[in-house]
């Protein structure tokens, strides 16, 4: 891919910058609750009305179908403008939508994709369980087929935004005679279906958005199966391929912007007088540059294939570990009261506490390293 911009791309950058300057919300994003849901849906709706929804989605499914370089320009300008990133729309835009495009049928796409882009649906993920986190193949939440219905029982955990979600990408065991990767099914679950109970899970950041979901004879129509019954492992690998590949591009670019903001804060204080802090900032600038280079390579490869490959785990692992280092240094520079002092305008303390989840969510760092070793480097499987 090209790293330099053409004149047309620079004109596109100006267009993006002007639109973001006029449209990025200037009020603080709510930390949780229905207020957060409405904030995120309104921001998505504003992007849709402005013609910026689904920038990486194919035009055939309502997206912008932007080129690789245009996507990167969009994300860079979003980071520069402090535009909202991720949040309760992340699963819908980066997981469910792309999975439906790749593996869903036309009725599923026709119903959900426009609603996601218009900011009318919040999705959550139902993969991990209390005894099957990084070991996704060990899930036990099961469903029996009764006519044209799936009857679901069990529970899922670490389900972000479940309490404000409309739908869930839900992985179930539909054949009790099979184990591990076989006999699984990926389904669309309406979160308002009777029999679903949601309990919040306390976290050290205090945002209150993680949940455990319980299913008690929950009835899901068979037409909500994505792919085929029993082929859920392959469909889920499609989903996780997006998560570990291109889904976090905006977060990765935003992390580089965060380091630049820390440098500005440090220059405006006495923080740079500490040689260790200055050295750490220089190192982090080099490391986020390396992350950006890996991101560009990952996106470039993803454009050449329908589903991202296992190489995305490299970017996901590096981003997770690096984000913890960035926010740890932020605590040194802005202090625990940074939201009211040097780093006014951002809740650095909450972002620091929240960064720890990156080395666990979507597969722990250890699991990602195993995948890199086995599927990218072709090393012998660990014992």
What is the residue whose two structure tokens read 């910058």? Answer: 17
Q: Which residues contact 85 (CB under 8 A, 6 or more apart)?
A: 78, 79, 250, 251, 254
What is the residue whose two structure tokens read 């245009």? Answer: 70
In contact, 313 and 168? CB cutoff 8 Å? no
Among residues 217, 221, 229, 214, the alpha carbon closest in space to that of 152 is found at: 217
Please tell me what DSSP assigns to residue 95: I
Annotated catalytic residue 76: no
Considering the candidates 243, 287, 311, 351, report the single residue annotated as catalytic. 243
Among residues 370, 369, 242, the alpha carbon closest in space to that of 305 is found at: 242
In contact, 8 and 59? CB cutoff 8 Å? no
Q: Where are the beta strands (DSSP E) in the chain?
A: 123-126, 142-146, 149-156, 167-173, 184-190, 196-200, 211-221, 225-226
Cα 125 to Cα 11: distance, rounded to the nearest angstrom: 38
What the block records as the tokens of 370 is 């195993």
Please tell me what DSSP assigns to residue 271: G
Please tell me what DSSP assigns to residue 269: S
Please tell me what DSSP assigns to residue 206: -
Cα 377 to Cα 105: distance, rounded to the nearest angstrom: 34
Beta bridge partners of 151: 144, 219
In contact, 174 and 145? CB cutoff 8 Å? yes
For residue 71, CA distances in Å to 76, 143, 228, 382 come to 9, 40, 32, 37
DSSP states along 152-169: EEEEE-S-TTGGG-SEEE
Task: Tell me which residues are annotated as active site.
Answer: 243
């Amino acid at each position: 891919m090209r790293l330099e911009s053409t004149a047309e791309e620079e004109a596109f950058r100006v267009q993006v910058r002007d639109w973001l300057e006029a449209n990025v919300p200037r009020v603080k994003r709510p930390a949780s609750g229905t207020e957060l849901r409405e904030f995120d849906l309104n921001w998505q709706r504003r992007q849709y009305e402005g013609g910026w929804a689904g920038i990486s989605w194919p035009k055939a499914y309502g997206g912008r179908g932007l080129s690789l370089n245009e996507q990167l320009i969009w994300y860079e300008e979003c980071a520069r403008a402090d535009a909202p990133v991720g949040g309760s729309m992340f699963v819908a835009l980066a997981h469910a939508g792309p999975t439906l495009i790749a593996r869903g049928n036309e009725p599923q796409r026709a119903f959900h994709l426009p609603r996601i882009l218009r900011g009318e649906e919040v999705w959550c993920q139902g993969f991990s369980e209390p005894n099957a986190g990084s070991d996704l193949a060990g899930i036990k939440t099961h469903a029996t087929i009764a006519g044209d219905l799936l009857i679901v029982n069990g529970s899922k955990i670490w389900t972000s935004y479940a309490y404000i979600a409309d739908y869930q990408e839900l992985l179930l065991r539909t054949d009790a005679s099979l184990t591990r990767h076989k006999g699984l099914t990926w389904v669309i679950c309406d979160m308002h279906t009777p029999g679903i109970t949601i309990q919040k899970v306390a976290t050290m950041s205090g945002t209150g958005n993680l949940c455990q979901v319980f299913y008690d004879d929950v009835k899901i129509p068979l037409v909500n199966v994505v792919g085929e019954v029993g082929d859920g492992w392959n469909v889920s690998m499609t989903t996780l391929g997006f998560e570990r590949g291109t889904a976090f591009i905006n977060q990765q670019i935003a992390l580089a912007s965060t380091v630049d903001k820390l440098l500005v804060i440090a220059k405006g204080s006495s923080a740079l007088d500490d040689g260790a802090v200055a050295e750490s900032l220089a190192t982090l600038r080099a490391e986020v540059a390396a992350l950006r280079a890996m991101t560009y390579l990952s996106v470039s490869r993803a454009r050449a294939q329908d589903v991202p490959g296992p190489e995305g785990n490299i970017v996901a692992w590096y981003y997770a570990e690096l984000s913890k280092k960035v926010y740890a240094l932020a605590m040194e520079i802005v202090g625990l009261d940074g939201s009211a002092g040097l780093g006014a305008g951002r809740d650095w303390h909450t972002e620091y506490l929240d960064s720890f989840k990156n080395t666990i969510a979507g597969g722990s760092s250890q699991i990602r390293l195993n995948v890199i070793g086995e599927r990218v480097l072709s090393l012998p499987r660990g014992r």
